[in-house]
């Protein structure tokens, strides 16, 4: 009977998902092995970079290269609410939201495909296919037509990552064989199921909390907040199926606040260090003879 395999399910969260890099740093320092990774949206990006070279320091350098790419970075500052309550800040936010709303009402996306696909292509020039990665990796997306989960595990890595990161209304969806594939962060925010399907016996879910928007100034804001609450409730059920859950306390950061990447990464690291004793205890239990036997029968029952 082989030993249990530990898999990471890295959740979506935009800039807040940079906390994944800190989580991986803490796990590396603690000597907890990662055998496979599944990710959604930003979790897919960070997971793929780690799967291509499982070294936390190298991972962070690659992450910085990606988020500082001019084709990527130039799109996000305007989404972050301006500090203060002055008229200029309010006018700027209003005009920007209006521009995005108009563009999404007249086309499928506010931004071009290349504004996302280009930086991904440059970041993964050395590992263009899933098969080139060091660790098994899965990127999770959503087919809007059927409502089904779409999991990418082979073929073009960049195409799979693009689909997983294509925020609806912001980037064009991937259209193939009647499917319209977009960012899976709605119903599949933390890809616990995909991680188990990849062969993980012990799944550590890294759940990135949503941004706590308190300044609800429009009907759009109310609708977005209602949607966030519904997604959070669904996500609680998903994470309950993981063997262990890490929740970095990054909810004060906006999803587009990539300029605070170092602070977000540090929170991911500190959050993981705090729960490390409990994780190590749970992992030791799973690797014990009784735990391995229970896992063996669980795999048999799941087919």
- As annotated, the active-site residues are 41, 183
Q: How far apart are CA 79 and CA 56, in angstroms?
A: 29
Other beta carbons less than 10 A from residue 300's beta carbon: 8
Determine the Cα–Cα distance for residues 51 and 157; give it in Å rounded to an integer.
Answer: 11
Q: Please answer whether residues 44 and 14 qualify as being in contact, where contact means their C-beta atoms are separated by less than 8 angstroms.
A: no
φ, ψ of residue 186 to 5 degrees: the values are -70, -80
Cβ contact 28:22 at 8 Å: no
Strand partners, 206: 10, 246
Are 154 and 198 a contacting pair, CB within 8 Å?
A: no
C-alpha to C-alpha distance for 160 and 98, rounded to whole angstroms: 31
Of the candidates 162, 170, 173, 184, the residue with the CA atom closest to the CA atom of residue 96: 170
In DSSP terms, which residues pair with 176 in a beta bridge? Answer: 179
Helix 19-29 to helix 42-52 angle (10° resolution) is 40
Give the DSSP H/E element, type plus range, for residue 265: helix 261-287
Q: What is the DSSP letter of 69?
A: -
Q: How many C-beta atoms surround the C-beta of residue 229 within 10 A?
A: 10
């Amino acid at each position: 009977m082989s030993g249990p395999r530990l898999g990471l399910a890295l959740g979506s969260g935009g800039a807040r998902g940079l906390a994944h890099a800190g989580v991986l740093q803490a796990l590396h320092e603690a000597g907890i092995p990662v055998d496979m990774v599944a990710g959604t949206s930003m979790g897919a990006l960070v997971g793929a970079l780690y799967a291509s070279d499982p070294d936390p320091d190298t991972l962070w350098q690659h992450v910085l290269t990606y988020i500082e790419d001019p084709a990527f970075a130039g799109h996000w500052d305007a989404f972050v609410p301006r500090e203060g309550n002055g008229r200029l800040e309010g006018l700027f936010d209003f005009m920007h939201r209006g521009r995005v709303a108009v563009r999404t009402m007249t086309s499928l996306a506010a931004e071009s495909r290349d504004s996302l696909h280009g930086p991904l292509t440059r970041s993964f020039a050395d590992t263009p296919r899933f098969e080139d990665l060091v660790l098994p990796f899965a990127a999770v997306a959503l087919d809007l037509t059927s409502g089904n989960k779409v999991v990418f595990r082979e073929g073009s890595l960049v195409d799979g990552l693009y689909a997983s990161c294509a925020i609806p209304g912001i980037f064009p969806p991937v259209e193939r064989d009647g499917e319209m594939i977009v960012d899976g962060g709605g119903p599949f925010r933390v890809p616990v199921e995909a991680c188990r399907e990849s062969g993980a016996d012990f799944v550590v879910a890294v759940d990135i909390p949503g941004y706590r928007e308190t300044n609800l100034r429009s009907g759009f804001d109310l609708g977005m907040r209602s949607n966030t609450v519904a997604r959070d409730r669904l996500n609680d059920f998903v994470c309950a199926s993981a063997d262990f859950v890490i929740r970095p306390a990054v909810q004060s950061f906006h999803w587009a606040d990539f300029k605070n990447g170092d602070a977000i990464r540090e929170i991911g690291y500190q959050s993981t260090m705090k729960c490390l004793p409990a994780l190590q205890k749970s992992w030791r239990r799973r690797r014990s003879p009784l735990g391995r036997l229970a896992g063996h029968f669980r795999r048999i029952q799941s087919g």
